Homo-oligomer: A and B are copies of this chain.
Amino acid sequence: MATQVVLMGLGAIGRLIARAVLTRSDLEIVAAIDLDAQRVGRKLSDVVDAPAPDVIVTPDAGAALKKAQHGVLLHATGSRLDRVEGELAQALSAGLAVVSTCEELSYPWLRHPEIAERLDRIAERRKVALLGTGVNPGFVLDRLPATLGNVVGRVDRVQARRIVDARTRRLQLQRKVGAGLNEEEFDRGVDDGTIGHVGLMESAALAALGVGLEVDEVDEDIDPVETDEDMQGEGFTVPRGGIVGVHQVARAFHDGKEVAHLELTIALGAPDPRDEIELIGDPGIRCVIPGGVPGDKATAWSVAHAAPLVASAEPGLITVLDLPAGR
């Protein structure tokens, strides 16, 4: 029997998740939740622009969650755990397993240990699992290094970088990495959390733990990337010298020693886009994905593929390190 799926959040990522789910015959969408007035009351098939079961988008989470039995909520409403805790708790309390794109949920003990504890307790009590995943965090800079760690010995440090040419991404992401802002606007955006990628520190912790290292501290730097030639965004141009994106470095430490060093560059025109993972140790190993794993689509696929696994996983709050290799 197919696993019953409830969707929550039908923004750009949520719609991609819906389409990914529709390709899997072992998943069946039974309800879809969204608060946006432009989507409420419409047929899911119209909202996601694909043939879909006869489901009307509703703002009523309580009623929608009741439609899934032993099913799973696929959740894509936000990056910050403190803002989505209520939504996750409600779904778990209703007896649904949850897979969420919430970046901070990928390793929630880092920034929100109390929320992690509360959600874990509900999940254990209702005997369902809860997972935060995606491509980044969730795969390229954490799950993949951890997987590579299985064929090497002592690891001293995980070193990885992901370089994304933001010209290949949607306007919303180009704006989120600060393309076209001046320095003051960029700094203000970093301070209020609207500029920059969420989840790199979580990846650093996961990557280190995944290869068997301990972590007692994680930090992060965020800087603007400036262009040395005029650069074209989606409907805007950044002149030479202007800001075209973001460069972030997250580092995990144990006893003052760096055990993970992750770099992320997302910028219009970023050269040689790729994912590159290196485990420094004896012996070391290096792995390259030329071009890099595509962002939004890969996140949607990873959520859809995780759905049946999480629906049948041991109860509680889990991470991508607990997921099996096969989809």
Contact check, A150 vs B301: say whether CB atoms are below 8 A apart: yes
Known contacts A147-B144, A150-B305, A322-B326; A294 and B286 CB within 8 A of each other: no
Indicate how many identical chains form the complex.
Answer: 2
For the complex, give the distance between the alpha carbons of A288 and B152 in Å.
16
8 A Cβ contacts from A234-271 to B: none
CB-defined contacts of A324 to chain B, threshold 8 Å: 321-324
- Chain A binding site: helix, strand, loop or mixed by DSSP? mixed
Interface size class of A (residues with CB under 8 A): 35 or more
Contact check, B325 vs A146: say whether CB atoms are below 8 A apart: yes
For the complex, give the distance between the alpha carbons of A291 and B152 in Å.
14
Known contacts A286-B290, A321-B324, A324-B321; A135 and B147 CB within 8 A of each other: no
26 contacts between A and B (CB under 8 A): A20-B153, A135-B151, A139-B151, A143-B325, A144-B147, A146-B325, A147-B325, A149-B305, A149-B327, A150-B302, A150-B306, A150-B327, A151-B293, A151-B301, A152-B298, A153-B301, A211-B327, A283-B298, A286-B289, A286-B291, A287-B288, A288-B290, A319-B326, A321-B324, A321-B326, A322-B324
